Amino acid sequence: MSSGVPETYILYLVLVGIIVSIGKSLIKEEMDSFRIIVGKAIVTAAMSLMAGSLLLFYSTLPPLAILGVASAFATFGVEGSIKLIKDFTRKRMGDDETK
């Protein structure tokens, strides 16, 4: 890869997202359909890839730290991550209005 990120990192990040998604589906009371489980796995895999973007800012970050952040993103989910990012940017911009 031209970015200097080994392909195994990307594979590990995707696998973390898929595993977290399937685990979250398995512990729910109501059963999801196969289509829903696959859809959630794809979305959380993409969420965990967001952790790979940390390598752009902190190139010396150990792989275990990147996997930890990937797990957190995947567990937190899309909606939670969006809310967290919005709250963080509002605080950085000086806007204390939260919804």
Q: Output the pTM of the full model.
A: 0.55
Q: Which residues contact 34 (CB under 8 A, 6 or more apart)?
A: none
pLDDT digits (tens, 9 = 90+) for 58-84: 778 888 887 888 777 777 776 677 777
Mean pLDDT of all residues belonging to the chain:
75
pLDDT digits (tens, 9 = 90+) for 23-40: 777 777 777 788 877 777
How far apart (Å, rounded) are the C-alpha atoms in residues 25 and 58? 32
The dihedrals phi and psi of 73, each to the nearest 5 degrees, come to -60, -45
Taking 50 as the threshold, does the pLDDT of residue 86 lie above it? yes
Residue 43 has a pLDDT of: 77
